[in-house]
Amino acid sequence: MFQMQCKRLRASMLGAALTLCIACQQQTPAPTPAPEKTSRATAKATPASATPKPTAAPAAAATPASTKAKPRNRDLYFASASDSNAVKPTVKFWVERKGEGSKDLDYVLDTDNEVFRTGDKVVFKFSANVDSYCYLVNKGTSGNVMMLYPGTAGRDNHVPARETRTIPSEKGAFAFKGDPGEEELCLVVAPDRVQEFEDIAESQDKGAGTRAIDLNADQKQTWDQKTKAMPAPGKSRDLVLEQDSHPQPGDTPGNYVTDEGSEGGFTRPITVYMTLKHEP
């Protein structure tokens, strides 16, 4: 049975192969078309001028001077310039909390996040990189307003460039006492004498010595009206405040305020505010 099936399968395969061979011989292959002649115009090489050249990478644009690192306020404070009109007016200020020892000092820069306790003793220090006339007023928790400078540190409020003033004095200090609350200090650093403030200072008896000047109601109003019109950090974008808690050797920590919008040197006052929080 197995052999018969094999013979039949062999014969069948042989017949199919023969039929396929005859069919292939009878078919006439289609003639191969002759290749088209290429015209001279298309055969010519493309002129070199028409060949697109690789585009060279554009040269890197020169970095404009405005992208250079901006100098820090501290650097502007110490920078020297032969032309006074090129100086950017910069005020440095800070509070020192005094301990028991003469060298036991705590430099307070961010007074908004600092608390002073009853009995704490502090001094206020400031300077500027330009010759100036300075005025310092304190608004106490009790509501009293006092001019501390000129006053406690002398009558002459002309401050040479980079000369530090200490309020009330190098040997003295303000002590927190009385009802807790907030003490606001307002410092005005001006290129010229502010006559309204000079009048307040002159109103004190010359024989009173070096002490604070109590402002009456009219003088308080005059002070507020004048200072509100002066640029201050937070009110003017031209005044930039920076803190330097890691000074160079020989220097002290401090806040630096620079008048970026001052044109032609020191031409307008700079006003600085500090709030001291007093808790029991």
Closest CA to 274 of 88, 90, 125, 117: 125
Cis peptide upstream of residue 64 (ω within 30 degrees of 0):
no
Please give the structure tokens belonging to residue 136. Answer: 């310092």
User: Mean pLDDT across the stretch 85-109?
Assistant: 85
Higher pLDDT pick, 160 / 265: 160
Mean per-residue pLDDT of the chain: 79
> pLDDT band at 63, cuts 50/70/90?
low
Task: Please check whether residue 6 lies inside any domain of the structure.
Answer: no
Q: What proportion of the chain, given as a percentage, has pLDDT over 90?
A: 51
| C-alpha span between 253 and 174 (Å, rounded) | 20
134 with 185: CB under 8 angstroms? no
pLDDT band at 46 (very low <50, low <70, confident <90, very high): very low
- With a CB cutoff of 8 Å and minimum separation 6, the contacts of 48 are none
Give the tens place of pLDDT for each residue, 168-178: 988 899 999 98
pLDDT tens string 193-225: 999 999 999 887 655 556 788 999 999 999 999
Question: What does the radius of gyration of the chain's CA atoms come to, in whole angstroms?
Answer: 44
CA distance 115 to 110: 10
Domains held by the chain: number = 1
pLDDT at 57 over 80: no
pLDDT top residue among 16 and 109 = 109
42 sits in which H/E element: helix 40-43
For residues 143 and 235, give the distance between their C-alpha atoms in angstroms, rounded to a whole number. 24
Q: Per the domain annotation, does 33 fall within a domain?
A: no
Rounded (to 5) percent helix, strand, coil in the chain: 25, 30, 45
| pLDDT for 64 | 55
Comparing 32-36, 105-109, 161-165, 194-198, the range with the smallest average pLDDT is: 32-36
Instruction: Determine the average pLDDT of the residues in 90-100.
Output: 93
Residue 87 token pair: 């100086």
* Contacts of residue 53, Cβ cutoff 8 Å, sequence gap at least 6: none
Q: What is the mean pLDDT of residues 32-42?
A: 43
Residues forming a β-bridge with 186 = 137, 273
Determine the pLDDT at residue 62. 56
Lowest mean pLDDT among 186-195, 208-217, 265-274: 208-217
CB count within 10 Å of CB 164 equals: 15
Position 21 scores a pLDDT of 35
Statement: residue 261 has pLDDT above 60: yes
Question: What's the pLDDT at 60?
Answer: 53
Query: Does a structural domain hold residue 213?
Result: yes
Residues 175, 256 contacting (CB under 8 angstroms): no
| The residue to which tokens 């100086």 are assigned | 87
Instruction: Give per-residue pLDDT as tens, 107-143.
Output: 999 998 999 999 999 999 999 999 999 999 999 988 8
SS3 37: coil
Range of the domain at 258: 71-279
Assess whether pLDDT exceeds 70 at residue 5. Answer: no
The answer on pLDDT for 248 being more than 90 is no
8 A C-beta contact, residue 157 and residue 137: no
Domain presence at residue 152: yes
- Domain assignment present for residue 3? The answer is no
Residue 64 falls inside a structural domain: no
Check: pTM over 0.75? Answer yes or no. Answer: no
Residue 132 lies in a domain: yes
Other C-beta atoms closer than 10 Å to the C-beta of 181 total: 14
In a domain, 24, yes or no: no
Which of helix, strand or coil describes residue 229?
A: coil
